[in-house]
């Protein structure tokens, strides 16, 4: 019974692999590990294939822009789809794509360019060289390393869940390609859309801690067929300019009736950085917070030490100044009290306490004491008698 079940399971697995490998007409799908790792060759019609002057090109890729020239040879890019070690996240070229690590700051995805007519044997040779494992990062190679602008739309995105028996489907389309300082927008109608379907092998909830996903289906479809169901426009509508009046400047309308929908679908590299949507209020706030954290991380200890020293000096000065002020204030009050009571200063002590900038009021000297003369008794004098005499 067990052997029969294993045979059926193996046949089912081969059927899935065969379906995934034959569902593409213009792309190539190379499985590396069942339901866990696969390489997809995605054609890029209309984009030039770059050749390099190997004889004169410098070793470092960042310095080799002038040593590439474009040709009319059909081109493609390699996308390495892998499941994370915990089987909870789908990665494209080592970047989380389903679900995203941060929905507010989508990742920058880069891919190697290859000729469109490359064979699976040649792809496996590139894998053995370690190109897709970034072993030659930053070095000049025959295959050009390109940055992608992409359209990401997910059926039953985990962010909008939870779901039972979760089977999300990623629709991934390349909208533009950047090489060094050059950026090109691809023609929509000529491109293929990559469909990747995952399935929860635990058949539980999409937010369960023991969930485990596997890649069960891969297809390359035409744009019109891809966005027919669920219906979705292929072109990005014109949006108002993103300003700080909006917190995120989201792409709205792609996930109908879902309050917790992903904020962005069309990921243009010129619109995003590590802090999110450029020019949005959230971007400005997070960028300033990051700058503050960097300043605090580098100068924070020195600032704390300086503050502690200054506070120590200030507290010491206060500890010395307050008792001195009280001491001299007490002496002053005693001196003023003695001067006012005993007139030891001769001028009632007021002149001493006048401000130097005030006009001192002239105080007349005290009158001398009158001599001690005995007063005669009061009498009446007849003035008429006095005059006649």
Q: What is the pLDDT of residue 216?
A: 93
Which phi and psi (to 5°) does residue 201 adopt? -75, -15
Q: Could you report the per-residue pLDDT of 292-305, keeping only the tens digit for each?
A: 877 777 766 777 78
Q: Cβ neighbours of residue 275 under 8 Å, at least 6 residues apart? A: 105, 282, 283, 286, 287, 290
Query: What tens digit of pLDDT does each residue of 205-257 get?
Result: 888 898 999 999 999 999 888 888 766 777 776 766 888 888 888 887 666 55
- Residues 6+ positions from 14 with CB-CB distance below 8 Å: none
pLDDT of residue 18: 39
Quote the pLDDT of residue 5: 39
Q: Which of 265, 148, 173, 262 is nearest to 225 (CA)?
A: 173
Kindly report the number of other CB atoms within 10 A of residue 157's CB atom: 23
Query: Is the N-terminal amide bond of 20 cis, ω within 30° of 0?
Result: no
- pLDDT at position 307: 77
80: which 2 tokens?
């390495």
> H/E/C letters for each residue in the chain?
CHHHHHHHHHHHHHHHHHHHHHCCCCCEEEEEECCCEEEEEEECCCCCEEEECCCCCCCEHHHCHHHEEEECCCEEEEEEEEECCCCCCEEECCEEEECCCCCCCCCCCEEEEEECCCCHHHHHHHHHHCHHHCCCCCECCCCCEEEEEEEEEEECCHHHCCCECCCCEEEEEEEEEEECCEEEECCHHHCEEEEEEEEECCCCECCCCCCCEEEEEEEEEEHHHHCCCCCCCCCCCCCCCCCCCCCCCCCCCCCCCCCCCCCCCEECHHHEECCEECCCHHHHHHHHHHHHHHHHHHHHHHHHHHHHHHHHHHHHHHHHHHHHHHHHHHHHHHHHHHHHHHCCCCCCCCHHHCCCCCCCCCCCCCCCCCCCCCCCCCCCCCHHHHHHC
Q: Give, in order, the Cα–Cα distances in Å from 186 to each of 46, 74, 174, 175.
A: 7, 13, 8, 6
Q: How far apart are alpha carbons 43 and 223 in whole angstroms?
A: 13
pLDDT of the chain, 389 residues: tens digit per residue = 444 434 333 344 434 443 444 444 444 788 888 888 999 999 999 999 888 766 676 666 666 677 777 888 899 999 999 999 999 999 999 999 999 999 999 999 999 888 998 888 888 888 887 777 766 666 666 557 789 999 999 988 888 878 888 999 999 999 999 887 788 899 988 899 999 999 999 888 888 898 999 999 999 999 888 888 766 777 776 766 888 888 888 887 666 555 678 889 899 998 998 898 988 898 899 888 888 877 777 766 777 787 788 888 888 888 777 787 777 777 777 777 666 666 554 554 455 545 554 455 566 666 666 665 555 555 555 656 555 55
């Amino acid at each position: 019974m067990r052997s029969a079940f294993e045979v059926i399971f193996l046949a089912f697995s081969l059927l899935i692999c065969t379906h995934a490998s034959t569902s593409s007409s213009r792309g190539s799908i190379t499985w590396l590990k069942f339901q866990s790792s696969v390489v997809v060759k995605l054609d890029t019609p209309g984009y030039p294939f770059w050749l390099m002057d190997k004889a004169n090109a410098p070793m470092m890729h960042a310095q080799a822009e002038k040593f590439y020239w474009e040709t009319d040879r059909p081109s493609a890019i390699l996308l390495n789809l892998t499941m994370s070690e915990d089987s909870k996240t789908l990665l494209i070229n080592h970047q989380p794509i389903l679900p995203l690590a941060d929905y507010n700051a989508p990742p920058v995805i880069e891919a190697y360019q290859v000729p469109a007519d490359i064979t699976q044997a040649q792809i496996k040779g590139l894998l053995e060289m370690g190109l897709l494992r970034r072993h030659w990062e930053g070095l000049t190679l025959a295959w050009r390393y390109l940055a992608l602008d992409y359209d990401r739309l997910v059926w039953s995105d985990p962010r909008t869940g939870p779901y039972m028996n979760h089977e999300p489907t990623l629709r991934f389309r390349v909208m533009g390609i950047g090489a060094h300082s050059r950026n090109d927008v691809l023609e929509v109608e000529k491109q293929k859309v990559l469909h990747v379907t995952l399935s929860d092998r635990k058949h539980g909830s999409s937010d369960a801690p023991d969930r485990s996903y596997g890649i069960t289906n891969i297809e390359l479809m035409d744009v019109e067929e891809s966005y027919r169901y669920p219906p979705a426009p292929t072109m990005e509508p014109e949006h108002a300019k993103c300003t700080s009046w909006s917190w995120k400047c989201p792409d709205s309308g792609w996930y109908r009736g879902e309050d917790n929908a992903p904020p962005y679908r069309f990921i243009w590299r010129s619109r995003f950085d590590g802090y999110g949507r450029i020019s949005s209020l959230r971007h400005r706030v997070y960028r300033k917070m990051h700058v503050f954290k960097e300043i605090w991380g580098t100068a924070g200890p020195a600032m704390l030490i300086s503050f502690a020293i200054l506070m120590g000096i200030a507290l010491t000065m206060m500890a010395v100044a307050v008792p001195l002020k009280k001491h001299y204030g007490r002496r002053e009050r005693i001196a003023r009290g003695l001067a006012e009571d005993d007139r030891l200063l001769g001028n009632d002590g007021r002149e001493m306490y006048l401000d130097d900038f005030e006009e001192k009021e002239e105080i007349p000297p005290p009158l001398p004491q009158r001599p001690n003369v005995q007063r005669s008794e009061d009498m009446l004098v007849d003035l008429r008698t006095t005059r006649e005499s």
